[in-house]
Chains A and B, each alone.
Chain A
Amino acid sequence: MLNVAANGDVTGIGGSGIRAIADGSAEANPGIGVTVTTGAGTTVSGGIYGIFATNADYGDLTVTANGNVTGSEAIVATNGINGANLYVTIGVYSTVTGSTNGIRAGNLGDGLLTISVDGDVSSTVGDGIQATNSAAGTDTNILTAVGHAVSGTTGIYANHSGTGALTVNASGIVTAQRPAASTRGARARCPAIFGHDVAYAVTGATVGVYAANSGLGATSITAKATSPAPPATQSRPQTTAPTSP
């Protein structure tokens, strides 16, 4: 069991704010795993990662940020093949800011991947939330709260291969930012929500929610808020209807 609790500010100027790694147990034990918790009002910042948590051990990996987290990648959570569930929770009034990705969570374990966001998550050039659940996993759940925003070149990116369901419930605003220089001026603003079943035909545009399910379960995408209105100069309307093959 590895437990890191930061109730004050943590700064890793050349590395990570918090780097927590467990690969120590040779046998399965339900009581073990990795837990990283930051207190309310704290700031965890790193030159590379804000929080970098890897569980190559047995058990769950749980990352709970109740304060601000910043880094080139703000939160990176990886659960290895011996692991079970992976939980990433962003508390109320928290902000997660990364230039590459806001939250990147990968689960190779045999359990859930759940990302619950009650604060704001933003990425400059990457995904606001990037979730990957392997074939060994079960359900993938991404939940965002009302009144809070998730933004990135792709707002929410979910790649699900597990045996359970893929659920994206975006109650807050999900914003797909226009990419940087390489595509400026040439792309239409995309719809806020894309699933494979809906439309992925807006070539080169950014994506609010990208959900790929190569697993065995169902895909459910719910949106209760919209992206900001497209600019007046936009020439291409939003597309919401499914496209025929």
Chain B
Amino acid sequence: MSRTPGTGDVDISISAYGSVAGTTTYGINAQNSGAALTITTAAPPPSRASYEASSHNSGGTGLLTITANGNVTGTSGAGMHFQAGNGASITTAAVYGGSNGIVGTNATGAMTVTANGAVTGNTGIGLTPQQWHQSLRDRSAAEPSRATATVGIAAVNAGSGFLTVETNGDVTGTGASAILATNSGTYLSVTTAAGTTGNQRRWRPWYRNHQQRQRRDDDQRLWRSHRCLERHLRREPVRDEQRSLHHLRAHTPSAAPISASMPATPELALLISPPTAPSPAPAVTASKRTTPPLVPTCPLPRPPLSWATPDGIYAHNRGRWLAERRG
């Protein structure tokens, strides 16, 4: 464990044949309030192929860099858990979490997560939706506690830069989405090269106090507005009225006749005869349409958090909303 309240950089390097194992807690637990924090591990022997990493660089002014060339296994907790203050660059081999696979947040700057091996979040104790909210609002790392929504990779970038998630191995969220990527910056990119599987949810909403109930209400409002837009887009014309050609012609501007192509070859077995010239078209204005133009009457869609519907990939670029919610 390394804890440095100073102002300098911290470099932790595990040699080629070294191994780190935390019997009850983390194999590596590095906290830095200084500048950059760098952790590099080489590929350990197969028999000692695991460690659990927790890195907090939330107060640091430099980049948090973790390069794990060996497997990472969190027996009961997350395989890798990091909290960056000023940018993060995470590169891993295979990661297995007893709860989540990789969970990380970043406060400012850019964030890159590259998983070159399989990442698995198992069915243990994972993140709660409230903690996810908390991580978005307060830029603090979400500590696992009591819910059982487990993800493969959860990456929250509260910074203004890029969030890039790249996976080259299978990613599995046993109890929730496989990849959760939320960015308040300018660019969010998720690229997968192998299988990505999110599974059924395993959590039940749990609201302990007024604040949490307010968050529940927020979610419900967001969901309703999303459904509102859905209904709006699905609204169909009144077909009974449209069965009337008179109705059709009366609402067809003369400058825009309806035409249908004529068959040019015998293969065109169906012929749609061009209609006769529209009757002297009355000046049609939008106000005369019985089918009003589609104009949204509800707020922009704000879907619920993906915990409710575990996805393979959930990618959300939500800077404006996040800024609003921060007040």
- Return the CB mask of A119-152 against B: 1 if under 8 Å, else 0: 0000000000000111110000000000000000
B29: Cβ under 8 A from any A Cβ = no
- Give the interface SS of chain B, mostly helix, strand, loop or mixed: loop
A28: Cβ under 8 A from any B Cβ = no
> Which residues of B lie under 8 Å from residue A78 when comparing CB positions?
229, 233, 301
> Which residues of B lie under 8 Å from residue A241 when comparing CB positions?
273
> Which residues of B lie under 8 Å from residue A57 when comparing CB positions?
317
B109: Cβ under 8 A from any A Cβ = no
**Cβ of B259 and Cβ of A2 under 8 Å apart?**
no
Give the interface segment out of B13-21, B34-42, B88-96, B290-298: B290-298
**Cβ of A214 and Cβ of B291 under 8 Å apart?**
yes
**Cβ of A3 and Cβ of B321 under 8 Å apart?**
no
A46: Cβ under 8 A from any B Cβ = yes
**Cβ of B270 and Cβ of A13 under 8 Å apart?**
no
**Cβ of A4 and Cβ of B253 under 8 Å apart?**
no
State the CA gap A32–B294 with chains docked (Å). 24
**Cβ of B270 and Cβ of A240 under 8 Å apart?**
yes
B12: Cβ under 8 A from any A Cβ = no
Minimum distance in angstroms from A149 CB to a CB of chain B: 15
Residue of B nearest to A18 (CB): B313
State the CA gap A57–B301 with chains docked (Å). 11
A179: Cβ under 8 A from any B Cβ = no
Counted as pairs of residues, one from A and one from B, with CB atoms less than 8 Å apart, the total is: 265
**Cβ of B321 and Cβ of A221 under 8 Å apart?**
no
**Cβ of A18 and Cβ of B312 under 8 Å apart?**
yes
> Which residues of A lie under 8 Å from residue B261 when comparing CB positions?
220-223
B200: Cβ under 8 A from any A Cβ = yes
Q: Which of B185, B186, B312 is A44 in contact with, Cβ under 8 Å?
A: B312
State the CA gap A125–B2 with chains docked (Å). 60
* A220-B312 in contact given A22-B317, A24-B317, A78-B233 (Cβ < 8 Å): no
> Which residues of A lie under 8 Å from residue B229 when comparing CB positions?
78, 80
**Cβ of A2 and Cβ of B196 under 8 Å apart?**
no
**Cβ of B294 and Cβ of A161 under 8 Å apart?**
yes
Q: Which of B256, B301, B310 is A15 in contact with, Cβ under 8 Å?
A: B310
State the CA gap A80–B225 with chains docked (Å). 13
Minimum distance in angstroms from B26 CB to a CB of chain A: 31
Minimum distance in angstroms from A41 CB to a CB of chain B: 12
B190: Cβ under 8 A from any A Cβ = yes
Minimum distance in angstroms from B136 CB to a CB of chain A: 13
State the CA gap A193–B260 with chains docked (Å). 11
Minimum distance in angstroms from B324 CB to a CB of chain A: 10
B191: Cβ under 8 A from any A Cβ = yes
> Which residues of A lie under 8 Å from residue B199 when comparing CB positions?
13-14
- Return the CB mask of B177-194 against A: 1 if under 8 Å, else 0: 110000111111111111
Residue of B nearest to A137 (CB): B294
State the CA gap A180–B313 with chains docked (Å). 33
State the CA gap A17–B17 with chains docked (Å). 40
Contact residues on B (Cβ < 8 Å of other chain), bracket:
35 or more
> Which residues of A lie under 8 Å from residue B275 when comparing CB positions?
197-198, 242
A103: Cβ under 8 A from any B Cβ = no
> Which residues of B lie under 8 Å from residue A217 when comparing CB positions?
256
State the CA gap A241–B274 with chains docked (Å). 9
**Cβ of B300 and Cβ of A3 under 8 Å apart?**
no
> Which residues of B lie under 8 Å from residue A9 when comparing CB positions?
194-196
* A5-B190 in contact given A15-B198, A132-B233, A220-B259 (Cβ < 8 Å): yes
Minimum distance in angstroms from B258 CB to a CB of chain A: 4
B81: Cβ under 8 A from any A Cβ = no
Give the interface segment out of B60-68, B123-131, B238-246: B238-246
**Cβ of B188 and Cβ of A17 under 8 Å apart?**
no
State the CA gap A198–B275 with chains docked (Å). 7
> Which residues of B lie under 8 Å from residue A218 when comparing CB positions?
256-259
B223: Cβ under 8 A from any A Cβ = no
* A245-B246 in contact given A6-B313, A14-B200, A16-B312 (Cβ < 8 Å): yes
With A196-B245, A217-B256, A222-B261 already in contact, 7 other A-B pairs whose C-beta atoms are closer than 8 Å: A3-B191, A14-B200, A21-B315, A25-B186, A26-B323, A136-B295, A203-B243
* Cβ contacts A to B, 21 pairs, < 8 Å: A4-B313, A9-B195, A9-B196, A10-B178, A11-B196, A11-B197, A16-B311, A17-B312, A17-B313, A21-B301, A21-B316, A24-B319, A25-B186, A78-B301, A80-B229, A108-B296, A132-B233, A198-B273, A216-B253, A217-B256, A218-B259
| Contact surface of B with A, Cβ cutoff 8 Å | 170, 177-178, 183-201, 229, 233-234, 236-237, 239, 242-246, 248-249, 251-253, 255-261, 267-273, 275-276, 286, 289, 291, 293-296, 300-303, 306, 308-323
